[in-house]
Amino acid sequence: MKFFKKAGLATTLLGVVTIVVSLTTPVWADFYGHHSPGGWGLQSGSQVPPPNGFLLTPLYSRYHSDKLVDSNGNEVNITGLNRDITINVLGLFGWWVSKYKILGANWGMMATIFGSDNAIEFPTFEVKSDFGLGDIYFQPINLGWHLKQVDFMATYGIYFPTGRYELGGDNNTGLGMWTHEFGAGTTIYFDQEKKWHFSAMGYFEISTEKEGTDIDVGNILTVEGGLGRSWYEGALSVGIAYYAQWKLTEDTIGGLNRLDPRLPSTRTLNRSRIYALGPEVNIPIIIKDKLISIITARYQWEFGARARLEGESFNLLLNFPFF
């Protein structure tokens, strides 16, 4: 296994270098998963399109950070390191729901294709990629139940390693691994008119080893949702959106003894976590009494980071309903 292609990659894979230099030095961060938190907010536990409906959504996402936090919650200061990183994403998201029912739920499918100018596999500021195709996401199972004052949703999806990837590379747009993602959640309405609502949608990631390596990224749990108020049959809504993400099992790095026979064959890394909170607004675009689209804007500030970057995220979606 080839960990480093050039000396400059030592910054990008600082955790691996730390292991090689000294087993007694704590590793302060871990590897990222596929699910980027912040993509879902208000009514995240609801299947939005009706039976035989389709939702097409161009989207823009931006993440910025100038803070790196260790496993104890302390900011990491590294001399000579550029302390700023921004990731821009442009994508297209499609969501179709059929009339076919499984266990009383409407069955649908979902897919997202996007391009980005960065893909961080390990918390660092020293990467800047050319814009390119990211890892495509396809969700063949999307089940939605709609009761009087509560919705439920259950999903299964997979991330394909279609993005550009090299271990420790500074020009990546993908993560070099396959990821299976299982989701379940709900939206609760506090009144019969469904004006006030609270939602929570959880996603559980299980990944394969990274391509050409002995690196196994641990399992990750992400919860996204929000508390909000809706008008005009749900077309207009405002509220507070949140997300939380935890690494549930440690990452493992194998083959270290091939770098130095004095090292153990494997080493585990710390478990990361992050929380975020911020406003969300959904504004309908209506022309001649017909709903043309709904603009979703969501801005969230992160806090409580452990073993990862801490920053803020912005998501802008232009939802076109075909139903």
Could you write out the DSSP letters of every residue in 19-49? HHH-TTSPP------S--TTS--TTTTS--S
209: in domain: yes
What b-and-e string marks burial along 65-104, b requiring 16 or more CB atoms within 10 Å of the CB?
Answer: beebbbbeeeebeeeeeeeebebebebebebbbeeeeeee
Q: Where are the beta strands (DSSP E) in 163-307?
A: 179-189, 196-207, 215-216, 220-231, 236-247, 252-254, 266-268, 273-287, 290-306
**Taking a C-beta distance cutoff of 8 angstroms, is the pair 279, 238 a contact?**
yes
Looking at 97-101, 214-218, 240-244, 302-306, which range is the least confident one? 214-218
> Which pTM value belongs to this model?
0.87
- How far apart, in whole angstroms, are the C-alpha atoms of residue 273 and residue 291? 39
Q: Which amino acid is at 124?
A: T
Helices then strands, each counted (H, E), the chain: 3, 16
Residue 158 has pLDDT above 90, yes or no: yes
91: in domain: yes
Q: What is the pLDDT of residue 127?
A: 65
The dihedral through the CA atoms of 310, 26, 252, 127 has a sign that is positive
113: in domain: yes
41: in domain: yes
Q: What is the mean pLDDT of the chain?
A: 87
Beta-bridge partners for 29: none
221: in domain: yes
1: in domain: no
Band of residue 13 on the pLDDT scale cut at 50, 70, 90: very low
Domain extent, residue 106, equals: 9-322
Total count of domains within the chain:
1
Band of residue 28 on the pLDDT scale cut at 50, 70, 90: low
218: in domain: yes
CATH number at residue 185: 2.40.160.40
Band of residue 177 on the pLDDT scale cut at 50, 70, 90: very high
Q: What is the pLDDT of residue 264?
A: 54
4: in domain: no
